[in-house]
Amino acid sequence: MVRVAAIIKPFKIDELKASLNQVGIEGMTVTEVRGFGQQKGHTELYRGSEYVVDFLPKLKVELVIRDDALVKVTDAIVDACRTGKFGDGKIFVTPIVESVRIRTGEHGDQALS
């Protein structure tokens, strides 16, 4: 099992959800986050004063999947979220040692479905 964490632009979430559904993924966790990388933020005007917005709004999407689904899931994320501009995001993959479904006590892959 692996955990896939993707940082994406907020307006891409509906496309991502549809893309993941097409490859058989029906669940995900989404968190609103802020950050910056190569985009470096931007300046805004508020009540006549200019200020720098360093941290831009993003979404962090997390999934725990079987190892054999990794390529199709990462491809689905890239296909749905790529605009070709700075700030499209990143995907991080980390191994998962164990998973347990609290309701039934199932372990491993059985806890994922």
pLDDT tens for residues 74-108?
999 999 999 998 889 999 999 999 999 999 999 99
Closest CA to 17 of 73, 71, 57, 66: 73
Distance CA(107)–CA(101), nearest Å, equals 7
Q: How many residues does the chain have?
A: 113
Contact present, 41 and 55 (Cβ < 8 Å) = yes
pLDDT score of 50:
74
Going from N- to C-terminal start, the domains of the chain cover 2-111
**What percent of the chain is modeled with pLDDT above 70?**
92
Q: Does domain 2-111 have CATH number 3.30.70.120?
A: yes
